[in-house]
Amino acid sequence: MKHQQDEASRQEMMAKAIALAYANTAKHHGKPFGAIIVKDGQVIATGVNEVVATCDPTTHAEMQAIREASRKEKSTDLSGYELYASGQPCPMCLSAIYLANIQRVYYGYGEAEAAEAGLSTQYIYEQVALPMDQRDVRLQQIDPSCSELKPLEAWSRHAR
C-alpha cells in the first residue's frame, strides 16, 4: 500500500514536470524541458529551459530548479531533496546535481526520445569522459606563475 502510494506520488510529480515542459514549449516556444525539486512531498522549486528566451546556454530546467532551491534554502547541500526532470539530465545538469548533493533523480523522457526531437546530449557525455588531450575542445594549460598572486594558497590559509 505504501509502495503504491509512493509510486502514485512519483507519477504525480513527474506529470507536473512534464506539464512545465509542455507549457514552456506550447506557450513560450522554449525547449521542452521542466524540472521540480521536492522535499518530503513538497515542491521546493521549479525550473524550465530558458535557453531560447535568454540566449544563455546554461539555463536548463534542472539548473534553474537547483539555482532556485539552493538560494531559497540558503544551502549548497540539497541532500534529502529529490529532482524530477521531464528529460534525462545532460552532463552539465548531472554535474550540478552532484555539486548540490542531490542523490535521487527521476526522469521521464530518455536520451533516445530526446535525440528523435534533435535534443540529444550524448556527444557531450562522450567528450567529457575523454582524456583532456582527446577532446574536440582544446584545453591548454598556461603556467599560473605568470601571476605573482596565489589564489589557492590564499584559500587554503582562509579555510584553515
| Active site residues per annotation | 62
CB of 27 to a second copy, least distance (A): 10
Contact (Cβ atoms closer than 8 angstroms) between residue 31 and residue 53 = no
CB of 40 to a second copy, least distance (A): 18
Q: What angle do CA 37, 42, 46 make, to 5 degrees?
A: 35
Q: Which of 44, 70, 122, 133 binds a second copy (CB under 8 A)?
A: 70
Q: What's the Cα-to-Cα distance from 86 to each of 23, 43, 56, 131, rounded to whole Å? A: 12, 15, 20, 31
6 binds a second copy (CB under 8 A): no
CA dihedral 102, 104, 109, 111 (to 10 degrees): 70
Considering only residues 18-47, where is the footprint of a second copy by CB under 8 A?
A: 18-19, 21-22, 24-26, 29, 31-34
CB of 106 to a second copy, least distance (A): 5
Q: Which of 4, 5, 134, 147 binds a second copy (CB under 8 A)?
A: 147
113 binds a second copy (CB under 8 A): yes
Contact (Cβ atoms closer than 8 angstroms) between residue 54 and residue 34 = no
C-alpha closest to that of 33 among 84, 70, 103, 100: 84
CB of 109 to a second copy, least distance (A): 5
Q: Which is nearer to a second copy, 46 or 86 (CB)?
A: 86
Q: Which is nearer to a second copy, 2 or 138 (CB)?
A: 138
